[in-house]
Amino acid sequence: MIIIKNRLKAYSVDKQRIQKRMRCLLDQMGYADFDITIWCTTNQTIRRYNREYRHIDRVTDILSFPFHYDVLAGNTIVAQSSDEKVLGDLIIAIPYVQVFCKKQQYDFDVWMDRLLVHGLCHLVGYDHMKEFDHKIMVAKERELLRLCHSPAEKIAD
């Protein structure tokens, strides 16, 4: 199940589009029967989470909170029960993303595709802290975007 929460009154998001994109991504990764929550929030809220969980006191575009925190990139999560068929949560700061897209002259929905795939990759063990891992993650992101026919595949990382 894909749960999308948008508690922002001043910002609307296309939940159907996000649902469709995430469904394709989950299908391509072999996690069609896993749950994921996507929470669209404010800059202040994501800053608080970033500070509390990553010890970085600034706004960011997306945070990923994996349910299976010990999975390695490229390995498949094997759920032992239906309760374990959870990938985790993605938190996206919609105001931050809108400003970023305006500055970069990116289409908001296309960039959201990029963020969804990036967040999902983090939920299943991919990372970009080291150059080697960054290359692997970017290649996986581009592959998924291509398989889901997203124009975000062509945006530079």
Q: How confident is the model at residue 64 (pLDDT cuts 50, 70, 90)?
A: very high
Measured CA to CA in angstroms, residue 141 lies from 12, 30, 57, 92 at distances of 25, 15, 27, 17
Length of the chain: 157
**Which domains occur in the chain, in start order?**
2-152 (3.40.390.30)
Report the pLDDT value the prediction gives residue 128, as an integer from 0 to 100: 82
Residue of 12, 11, 21 lying closest to 2 (CA atoms): 21
For residues 9-13, average pLDDT: 83
Asked if residue 43 has pLDDT above 90, the reply is: yes
Question: What is the rounded distance in angstroms from the CA atom of residue 33 to the CA atom of residue 63?
Answer: 22
Cα 13–chain centre separation: 15
Question: What is the rounded distance in angstroms from the CA atom of residue 151 to the CA atom of residue 46?
Answer: 27
Please report, as a single letter, which amino acid is at residue 142. Answer: R
* DSSP reduced 3-state for 75: coil
Asked if residue 157 has pLDDT above 70, the reply is: no
Question: What is the rounded distance in angstroms from the CA atom of residue 20 to the CA atom of residue 43?
Answer: 25
Cα first-last separation, the chain: 29
- The percent of residues above 90 in pLDDT, for the chain, comes to 68
